[in-house]
Homo-oligomer: A and B are copies of this chain.
């Protein structure tokens, strides 16, 4: 292994280390209320050092977002392997998103924050591009699965494929996000709130509206 690679590895390791520290703080306090000062202190590094590895606070944050997107993508691709019929695969896709939310609440929060602001971001940022491509890819998968579902008789034929795929996409993300929002709110209010099982119920609900 060349010296160059050796150094590159060290750099990547350091980046991972910083990201690990930052992940916790960003998750706990949110983007705006996290200062580079605190990250540096927690990481026992000089503030300037962080800037050797990340060009800005945004860059550091979006690297975490990107990592989150990768995890999500992997989970989705993995989940749609199982299930035979198109409908099963679609439901598994929804389950994958819910699973991501449950298992990686920190990464989930970054992805959502990113999603809600990326419309205002600089179009030249490669991270926006990447995320956009990932979204498209997932969306295309969804479309194919609906087609397959109609073909194998697991999904009704009277639906518009384009609209349905888009709607399912919007709906799933939306339901999970709203659940997260309400959950925090109701917790504060010490009130009863349907447990996380409502998300499973959502999958049932989806099934009912799609199946033949």
User: Which A residues contact B (CB, under 8 angstroms)?
Assistant: 30, 32, 115-116, 118-120, 123, 132, 160, 162-164, 166-167, 169-171, 173-179, 181-182, 184-185, 187-189, 194, 197-198, 201-202, 205, 208-209
Bound Cα distance A99, B197 (Å)? 30
Given A171-B202, A178-B170, A178-B173, A162 and B194 contact (CB-CB distance below 8 Å): yes
Given A163-B201, A205-B209, A174 and B178 contact (CB-CB distance below 8 Å): yes
Q: Which of B164, B177, B201 contacts A174 (CB 8 A)?
A: B177
Copies of this protein in the assembly total: 4
Bound Cα distance A175, B172 (Å)? 8
- B166 contacts A175, C-beta separation under 8 Å: no
Q: Collect the chain B residues with CB atoms within 8 Å of residue A187's CB.
A: 119
Bound Cα distance A162, B198 (Å)? 10
Bound Cα distance A184, B120 (Å)? 8
Q: Which of B115, B166, B185, B197 contacts A118 (CB 8 A)?
A: B185
Q: Which of B162, B167, B184, B194 contacts A202 (CB 8 A)?
A: B167
> Which are the 6 A-B pairs with shortest beta-carbon distances?
A174-B174, A119-B184, A209-B209, A170-B178, A119-B185, A174-B178
Bound Cα distance A163, B173 (Å)? 18
Q: How far is the CB of A90 from chain B (nearest CB, A)?
A: 14
Bound Cα distance A201, B179 (Å)? 22
Bound Cα distance A121, B208 (Å)? 37
Q: Collect the chain B residues with CB atoms within 8 Å of residue A32's CB.
A: 32
Q: List 28 A-B contacts (CB under 8 A).
A: A32-B32, A115-B181, A119-B181, A119-B187, A123-B188, A123-B189, A160-B201, A162-B194, A163-B194, A163-B197, A163-B198, A163-B201, A164-B201, A166-B198, A167-B175, A167-B198, A167-B201, A167-B205, A170-B178, A170-B182, A170-B198, A171-B171, A171-B174, A171-B202, A174-B175, A174-B178, A177-B177, A205-B209
